[in-house]
Amino acid sequence: MGKEYFIKCQKLDTQATRRFLEQRFTVLETAVGAFELSLRGATPEPTSDWVPVVVAFETDGVYFLDNLASPFQAASIFMQLVDFLLSRSEVITITEP
């Protein structure tokens, strides 16, 4: 069980967001179309087999799951993703589903 967020965007450009993720992070696409993310070059946490973050695109935003496996990585990924989305949209809303 992790911590879930939904980042609602006015105009989500999924292609640009995917390119951003691939440029910044280690990305593994899952069978269900979500993306497992970790910081490039980061050492995996020795106590966890989980990736730090999973994101999925929805029609009006991004689902973000912090697996609580690496607080530093999750916080860094979250901050960078929010900054990117704010650069593309005037308003974003972050809620817990």
Domain-located, residue 10: yes
Domain count, the chain: 1
Confidence check: pLDDT of 92 > 80: yes
pLDDT score of 50 more than 90: no
Please check whether residue 35 lies inside any domain of the structure: yes
Its domain, for residue 63, covers 3-41+51-95
In a domain, 16, yes or no: yes
CB 3 within 8 A of CB 65: yes
Residue 70 lies in a domain: yes
Task: Give pLDDT, residue 47.
Answer: 62
Residue-wise pLDDT tens digits, 6-29: 999 988 999 999 999 999 999 999
Strand partners, 73: none
Q: What is the pTM (predicted TM-score) of this model? A: 0.91
Question: Does residue 89 lie within any of the structural domains?
Answer: yes
Give the pLDDT confidence of 23-49 residue by residue, as tens digits. 999 999 999 999 999 999 877 666 667
Q: b/e for 3-35, b at 16 or more Cβ within 10 A?
A: eebebbbeebeeeebeebbeebbebeeeeeeeb
For residue 46, tell me if it sits in a domain: no
pLDDT digits (tens, 9 = 90+) for 59-79: 899 999 999 999 999 999 999
